[in-house]
Structures are given as C-alpha cells and as structure tokens.
Amino acid sequence: MLKLQSVSKEYTMRGQTVRALDDVTLDIERGDFVSVIGPSGSGKSTLLLVLGGMLSPAGGRVFVAGESIYELSAERRASVRKKTIGFVFQTFNLVPYLSAIENVQIPMFLAGASEADQAKRAAALLERMGLADRVHHKPSELSVGQQQRVALARMLANDPAVILADEPTGNLDPETARAALDFLEEMNQEGRTIVMVTHDLAAARRANRTLRLAEGRICDHSPKDVHVGLGAPVETSCGKA
C-alpha cells in the first residue's frame, strides 16, 4: 500500500545540512498498523509528510497504492492524496470560524461532492463520533476531546484507505488519548492502513509493528510482540540496533 525506495531528504538549518531521511527503504502492506518512534529530530514527521505526498524527497521513490506519487503532476498527486489519505494532526487544525459540520465538509468540498452529499455524510460522521448535538458548535465551544472527534470525522470524510497520524495523543488527557487509540484500532480493523508517529510508548504498543528511527534511518523494524525495547529510552543512534 505504501512503499519507499531509497528515500532521502535533507534540510539546511543555520548553514548546516541535516539529513532527515537517509536512504530509507520501507514496505507497508494494506491493512497494516505501524507505529513510528524515535527521538526528536530523528525524521519521524518528515517520513509521514513524504508518505502523504506533501513533501518531495531529495532522492528515491514513494509509492501510494502502486503509484509513484512524486512522478505525478501536482494536480494528480493532490487527487491521490484527497482520495486515498486521511491525516490526523496533534493540533487538530480545525478552522476556528467554521462549525463542526462545516469543518467536516471541507475535504468533501475540495473533492467536488455536492452540497447535499457533504451535509449528509458530515452529519452521519459526527453522529458516529457522538457529536450529533454539537454539529453547529464552533471549535472554541467544544472540549479538547470533542475537537479531536471533529478532526477524526473530517479525516474520514472522503473514506481514506490510509490514515497518517502525527502524535494523535500528544495534547490529550489519558482517557481521551485511549479513546483516540481505540478509534484508530477500529479504523484498522475496518481494513484501513495506519501509520502513527508517536512519542508515547504505550500508544506505540497498540500498533501491529513498530519502526524506530534515529538520525534519519530505520534502526528497528519489529512486530507487536517484540515491543522494540519500548520499556527503555529510545536510542539516539542506529549503532546499537
């Protein structure tokens, strides 16, 4: 479903070159649930953006559902992204002056759905999230947990096959975090492919397998029952992998 072939990405910061991804090769099968852990600056968020068609690599190829997405036109790549990939962000990224239902309608509007279809599906998704009585509330009128559920409903608007989650529990209390992870597991059980970047080692254990990144490289690539040493601090180098 997702594939990286010898992917590299560099940034220039304060006159120095930082290699965020260093010759990364990776296969993620359809229906897999993968967590990505590693120290700050290890390349986790860069990996997610590259997988999502939002950040062109300096080298290598990235495949989404069999298509080499950075060899497509910008218009075609945006179309693949809209139809195939749903994003979950730590900060939710809700539009503050729009209601819950209007926020959920945004991806469908961008995909060209009719206004009636947008409203019907958005209402159904918010009902699924337990927010049927909050559809006309703006983000400032919702609790943090409710805002997150609106963001999750918006992520599902175009029925994506792939969910990319960047620190989905980062700003949440423990109960709300568990609910978010339960939801991601439910989405995975429905057949969706999930890649989740997290600093939360307990959250990482909820995935089927875990990747450990350090210095832009995949150091460990282990199934759920191995835990990739999750009881210990994350190594800052691949030297001990």
User: Average pLDDT per run of 10 along the chain, which is 241 residues long?
Assistant: 94 81 94 93 91 94 94 92 89 94 95 93 94 96 92 93 92 86 93 94 92 87 54 45 34
CA distances from 183 to 15, 99, 100, 189 (A): 43, 22, 19, 10
Q: Return the number of other C-beta atoms located less than 10 Å from residue 211's C-beta.
A: 24
| pLDDT value for 162 | 96
| pLDDT value for 151 | 93
| pLDDT value for 222 | 65
**pTM greater than 0.85:** yes
Place of tokens 């030297």: 239
Structural domains for the chain: 29-42+74-225 (3.40.50.300)
d(CA 125, CA 16): 46
